[in-house]
């Protein structure tokens, strides 16, 4: 074959795993900085904002590089998963969130900060799970 | 949409990985194309036509036509 071109989208799962790994490391560092400096008076919130902003920037940069090398079918799978998987996951997370908010006594005594982060985590995690399931469904239907 | 990708590839003794490399896509994408469960974009369809040196209409056919 003469038209050999650079292989794009090789080992998509491994590439996706590296993106998730890099994002988790960046998020973990930001979380560590937040835990260490977040409660300090004065510059604490600013340090958290800076660390979180840097982690988000790293995550977006990694995602942009990864997205650039995806082929069109892989992009379509992620777009479909983003729309349907994240929507269904978020909806399910919303049911869990409201059920916990009105059904679990422990939440009535929780700190506002914990409630805020916990609620966001429930929705975010639900969306990620939905995204992963929808992505797998897209590819399984096209095997 | 139907296509003759699998036949054309077999005629040339190419593996899915060979065709994927020529098209610059993943082997999974080639598989999805061959099974007819993913329709390529127009740029990719033209690229496929160039790789096989055939007109697009001899490779792809519209099932709704």
Q: What is the pLDDT of residue A129?
A: 95
Q: What is the pLDDT of residue B64?
A: 67
**Pair of tokens at residue A142:** 């096209």
Q: What is the pLDDT of residue A94?
A: 93
**Domain of B19?**
2-55
Per-residue pLDDT of B4-45, as tens digits, reads: 999 999 999 999 999 999 999 999 999 999 999 999 999 999
Nearest-by-Cβ selection for B29 from A3, A73, A141? A73
Instruction: Tell me which chain B residues have a C-beta less than 8 angstroms from the C-beta of A73.
Output: 25-26, 28-29, 32-33, 38
Per-residue pLDDT of A115-143, as tens digits, reads: 888 889 999 999 999 999 999 999 999 88
Question: Per-residue confidence at B1, pLDDT binned at 50, 70, 90?
Answer: confident
Cα gap B30→B34, rounded to integer Å: 6
Contact B24 A7 (CB under 8 A): yes
B42 CA to chain A: closest CA distance, Å? 11
Q: What is the pLDDT of residue A10?
A: 60
Residue whose token pair is 């604490």: A44
Is the torsion defined by CA of B49, B54, B56, B62 positive or negative?
Answer: negative
Residue B31 lies in a domain: yes
Question: Which residue of chain A is at minimal alpha-carbon distance from B43?
Answer: A72
Contact B35 A139 (CB under 8 A): no
Residue B61 lies in a domain: no
Contact (CB, 8 A) for A5 and B22: yes
Residue B39's domain is classified under what CATH number?
Answer: 1.10.260.40
Residue B19 lies in a domain: yes
- Structurally, chain B folds into a number of domains equal to 1
Q: What is the pLDDT of residue B32?
A: 94
Residue B60 lies in a domain: no
Contact A9 B21 (CB under 8 A): no
Contact (CB, 8 A) for B4 and A49: no
Question: Which residue of chain B is at minimal alpha-carbon distance from A143?
Answer: B32
Cα gap A101→A122, rounded to integer Å: 12
**pLDDT (mean) for A88-108:** 86
Residue B65 lies in a domain: no
Residue B44 lies in a domain: yes
**pLDDT (mean) for A49-53:** 85
């Amino acid at each position: 074959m003469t038209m050999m071109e650079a292989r794009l989208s090789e080992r998509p799962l491994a590439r996706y795993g590296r993106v998730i790994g890099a994002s988790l490391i960046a998020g973990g560092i930001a979380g560590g900085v937040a835990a260490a400096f977040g409660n300090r008076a004065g510059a604490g919130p600013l340090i958290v904002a800076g660390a979180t902003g840097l982690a988000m920037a790293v995550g977006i940069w990694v995602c942009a590089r990864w997205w650039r090398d995806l082929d069109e079918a892989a992009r379509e799978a992620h777009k479909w998963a983003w729309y349907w998987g994240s929507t269904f996951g978020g909806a399910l997370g919303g049911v869990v969130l409201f059920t916990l908010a009105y059904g679990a006594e422990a939440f009535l005594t929780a700190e506002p900060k914990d409630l805020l982060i916990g609620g966001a985590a429930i929705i975010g995690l639900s969306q990620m799970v939905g995204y992963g399931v929808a992505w797998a469904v897209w590819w399984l239907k096209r095997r | 949409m139907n296509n003759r990708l699998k036949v054309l590839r077999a005629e040339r003794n190419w593996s899915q990985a060979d065709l994927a490399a020529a098209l610059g896509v993943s082997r999974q994408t080639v598989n999805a194309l061959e099974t007819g469960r993913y329709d390529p974009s127009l740029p990719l369809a033209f690229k496929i036509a160039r790789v096989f040196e055939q007109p697009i209409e001899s490779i792809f056919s519209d099932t709704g036509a």
